[in-house]
Amino acid sequence: MPAAEALCFAAVPTSPFERAPPDRGYAALTRGLDRVAWTVITVGSWAVLALARWLRPDARGHGTHEQLGLPPCAFAAVTGVPCPGCGLTTSFAHMAHGSFVRAFESHLMGPLLFTVVLFLALYGPYALRHGRSLRVLVEARPALPAVMLTALAGVLTFAVRCAHAR
């Protein structure tokens, strides 16, 4: 068998348990998509932080989003219970203004999400400069506990609101 044919056959896995050699075109595409994603994440994170800083936190603990021209919460109007997202914008605004206790009072999940957004805003430029894959975030050891803690804070906030509405 000529050497050229041997190279062609060597690139094909002989069993389903073997990995095919990496496709350079796919790697380049993935790298490009990672760069686009990191750019969107970085710009979006900085925009959210700037907007949170610009907003004035509503004294009621919710309703700050109305400064953006959005309507009051329809869920709260119909049920009398604030929706699971009520207070998140206010919480973000409190965090951006350094009022950490007020941020937790507005929504338990808000400060945790704000911290994630701040991390992404700061890590994004580094990830872009050093060609980091988005998989770094997903596969990072603290990722799952952070997501679970944030979700738990959101569920707890809604449960407390439902209990107080009775």
Using the predicted structure, report yes or no on whether residue 2 has a pLDDT greater than 80.
no
Residue 15's pLDDT is 52
Q: Which two tokens stand for residue 165?
A: 């509405």
36 in a domain, yes or no? yes
Residue with tokens 């409190």: 94
Residue 134's pLDDT is 85
* Residue numbers of the domain that contains 46: 23-165
150 in a domain, yes or no? yes
Mean pLDDT of 73-89: 89
% of the chain residues with pLDDT over 90? 49
Other Cβ atoms less than 10 A from the Cβ of 42: the count is 19
Using the predicted structure, report yes or no on whether residue 12 has a pLDDT greater than 60.
no
Residue 137's pLDDT is 80
Does 53 or 132 have the greater pLDDT score? Answer: 53
Mean pLDDT of 11-28: 56
What is the full DSSP assignment across 100-161?
A: HHHHHHH-THHHHHHHHHHHHHHHHHHHHHTT--THHHHTSTTHHHHHHHHHHHHHHHHHHH
7 in a domain, yes or no? no
Q: How far is CA 158 from the centre of its chain?
A: 20
Residue 27's pLDDT is 61
CA–CA distances in Å: residue 65 to residues 17, 97, 119: 52, 16, 23
53 in a domain, yes or no? yes
pTM for the full model? 0.77
Using the predicted structure, report yes or no on whether residue 157 has a pLDDT greater than 80.
yes
Q: Which two tokens stand for residue 124?
A: 């994004």
- Supply the mean pLDDT for the chain: 84
* Distance of alpha carbon 97 from alpha carbon 53, whole angstroms: 6
In angstroms, how far is the first alpha carbon of the chain from the final one? 81
Is the distance from CB of 35 to CB of 135 less than 8 angstroms?
A: no
Q: Which two tokens stand for residue 13?
A: 């896995």
Q: What amino acid occupies position 83? A: C
Using the predicted structure, report yes or no on whether residue 26 has a pLDDT greater than 60.
no
3 in a domain, yes or no? no
How many domains in the chain?
1
Reported as a single tens digit per residue, the pLDDT across 87-138 is 999 999 999 999 999 999 999 999 999 999 999 999 999 999 988 888 888 7
16 in a domain, yes or no? no
User: Predicted confidence band at 142 (pLDDT cuts at 50, 70, 90)?
Assistant: confident
Residue with tokens 């062609």: 8
* Distance of alpha carbon 107 from alpha carbon 85, whole angstroms: 8
11 in a domain, yes or no? no
% of the chain residues with pLDDT over 70? 81
121 in a domain, yes or no? yes
